[in-house]
Amino acid sequence: MSLSARLARLVDRSTTAVERASVLDAPSEALDRLASRIPVGPVKDLLSGVALGHPLHPVLVTVPIGAFTSALALDVEGRQQSAARTLVGLGLVSSVPTALAGLTDWSDTRGAERRVGLAHLALNVVGLSVIGASWLARRRDPGTGRFDTPGAWLTLTGFGIVGASAWLGGHLAYAMGVGVDTTAFQRPPTEWADAVDDADLLEGQPVVVTVEATSVLLVRTGGRLHALADRCTHRGGPLHEGTIADGCVECPWHASRFALADGAVVQGPATRPAPVFETRVVDGRVQVRRDEIRTLRLNPVG
């Protein structure tokens, strides 16, 4: 077995151990009590990245990582020590909103994802503490050459720990799908498909039907028929169990709200709109198909 294959196996086993570590559940609950103080609404929307249409946390991460990397580059050069210390400070300050955005995302996870997320957070706390110590050390002794001060070495050590944490963050996104639109791999009908009796759709009463393996939420409001993917794009909550009000459906899991007319996110934490379907009634039967724009998206993975 090659070295890279062995390394991949070791990393995979380590991550699996974290995923199964039920010992992390008690501290997770304690932290969740803190995280749940971020109320649903504008603040949570901001931290979730609703305005961006993508999660905010991965975007903010670039600032501290970039700042620490730049500081270390100056350490390698052995010059501009005061600029290096400023960069370390910038990285530390920018870690605060980055952590808050991550905490918001984490608070909506469960099970193995939540354990990996907690390990990600714990490693970041340790790594950033070491980098914080490096900032203090740099203030006492800025140094005059390449890695000739404890501060530079502490930054490098903390950066390594934060790097390990970043790997776990990547695992959350790429292996566990946290932050991914949960409808991304659905293959809804692109041709008109039979769904339900028109007479069964009563005003304001949602109905869920399975059309070609895709769950579709149908609801009539103000005499108009709406059809959306029943799976919430945030973490997959069943929208038909949510509430219908003010032209929106509210997810029962974390209260994201989607406009019935076009699926737009009216309230997060979801960042992606709900896929909408065209509808028509033929011989008393409602038919649906994916709207034209969405069907243009090719989906080889699905």
> Contact positions toward ligand FES, by CB under 6 A?
108, 232, 234-237, 251, 253-254, 256, 269-270
- Residue closer to ligand FES by CB (options 169, 237) is 237
Strand residue runs (E) in 112-269:
193-197, 207-211, 214-221, 224-229, 243-245, 248-250, 257-259, 265-267
- Separation of alpha carbons 233 and 55, rounded Å: 12
- Residue closer to ligand FES by CB (options 19, 108) is 108
- Residue closer to ligand FES by CB (options 263, 269) is 269
Q: In angstroms, what is the minimal distance from the CB of 56 to ligand FES?
A: 16
Q: In angstroms, what is the minimal distance from the CB of 98 to ligand FES?
A: 21
- Residue closer to ligand FES by CB (options 95, 183) is 183
- Residue closer to ligand FES by CB (options 19, 250) is 250
- Residue closer to ligand FES by CB (options 28, 183) is 183
Q: In angstroms, what is the minimal distance from the CB of 183 to ligand FES?
A: 11
Query: Which residues, other chains included, contact 19 with Cβ-Cβ below 8 Å and sequence gap of 6+?
Result: 112, 115, 116
Q: In angstroms, what is the minimal distance from the CB of 205 to ligand FES?
A: 20
Q: CB neighbours (10 Å) of residue 302?
A: 11
Q: In angstroms, what is the minimal distance from the CB of 77 to ligand FES?
A: 46
Q: In angstroms, what is the minimal distance from the CB of 25 to ligand FES?
A: 20
Q: In angstroms, what is the minimal distance from the CB of 122 to ligand FES?
A: 24
- What one-letter code names the amino acid at 223? G
Sequential DSSP letters for 232-257: -TTT--BGGGSEEETTEEE-TTT--E
b/e map 64-85, b = 16+ CB within 10 Å: bbebbebbbebbeeeebbeebb
| Strand, coil or helix: 284 | coil
- Separation of alpha carbons 30 and 107, rounded Å: 11
Sequential DSSP letters for 254-280: T--EEETTT--EEESS--SPPPBEEEE
Q: In angstroms, what is the minimal distance from the CB of 33 to ligand FES?
A: 19
- Residue closer to ligand FES by CB (options 156, 217) is 217
- Residue closer to ligand FES by CB (options 24, 249) is 249
